[in-house]
Chains A and B, each alone.
Chain A
Amino acid sequence: MVGPMSTGHPFPSQAWADAFRDAVNANETYRKHGRPWTFGKVAMAVKAEPDRGIPDDAGFVLDVHEGECRGVDYVKGMDAMQAAPFIIVADYERWLTVIGGDVDPIKAMMEGKLKLVKGALPTMLRFVESSRALVNSATEVDTDLDAPPEPPL
């Protein structure tokens, strides 16, 4: 995560999604705790905020399976995320604090700042350590905080 004068990836963008996939796959903690995960894709949805450069709901669909991230698609609209059995929603500002490592994702869910809008909460809680590792991977992505969000193609 870098700040001004960054050469990193805009958030959200497909380039950020690809870097996130690589960061997840480089995360040994995630590999260990995520190994039993066979419950399907997880979507991280960013609510539309036109005045922040996000004209429509957008999101990352993480194809995670047995401790590996097989791909991350950056998609437009909630409909495009419905194939994922788990969908977590937050606004743009909140995601920035999460990927910046300033917020524990489970605490953010308890405070209602991240919302699980689809999927079984007990399953997410059983994978609390892998959820944390997944989010910690996001903090490893070289993110350009000054770049405007890029809409999905």
Chain B
Amino acid sequence: MEPFVALAPGAERNGFAPMLAQLVRDNLTERPNKKDTLRRMRGRVALVIEDLELVVTLHFHDGGVTVHDDFHGIPDTTVRTDAEWITKMSLIELEPRFGLPDPRGAVAREVAKAQADGAIKVHGALPRLPLMLRLTKLLSVVG
């Protein structure tokens, strides 16, 4: 079954929600191997873009994802950062074998440093590490 990418009713009022849904759809088209990744994802990830004062929740369920405006349910993981870093996170290099973030990549290292410096705050990542690794793979436009 093809994984679905849906926009929750009313989510279009948040400009970032349709953009994120489009990004996932385009990524699945360009790199069909990401479809298996999406099918395996379960849980909720909230992305808080602090400088734009926008929040979206990605709800992974039933082999697909629904993108919501604002917080929707209790997120398993929350990422708080600025728009610039959200863009950078989509440029994280992936190693080709398993599609995991490549720690040798220039952007991956930059993002890791931003996390260490507090420019990117990720709450609840460790208990849901597989979800976060799959999210990185799903959203990456470079691997």
Contacts and interface: CB of A to CB of B under 8 A. Distances in A.
B19 A109 contact: yes
The list of the 3 closest CB pairs from A to B, nearest first, reads: A112-B15, A122-B141, A111-B15
Nearest to B25: A121
Chain B contact residues, majority secondary structure: helix
Interface residues of A, number: 16
A125 interface: yes
Contact of B19 (A112, A123, A126, A128): A112
Interface residues of B, number: 23
B120 interface: no
B38 interface: no
Interface in B14-58: 14-16, 18-19, 22-23, 26-27, 29-30, 49, 51-52, 54
Given A107-B83, A110-B83, A121-B26, A126 B15 contact: no
Given A110-B54, A112-B19, A122 B26 contact: yes
B22 A111 contact: no
Interface of A: 104, 106-107, 109-113, 116, 120-123, 125-126, 128
Given A112-B18, A116-B22, A120-B26, A125 B141 contact: yes
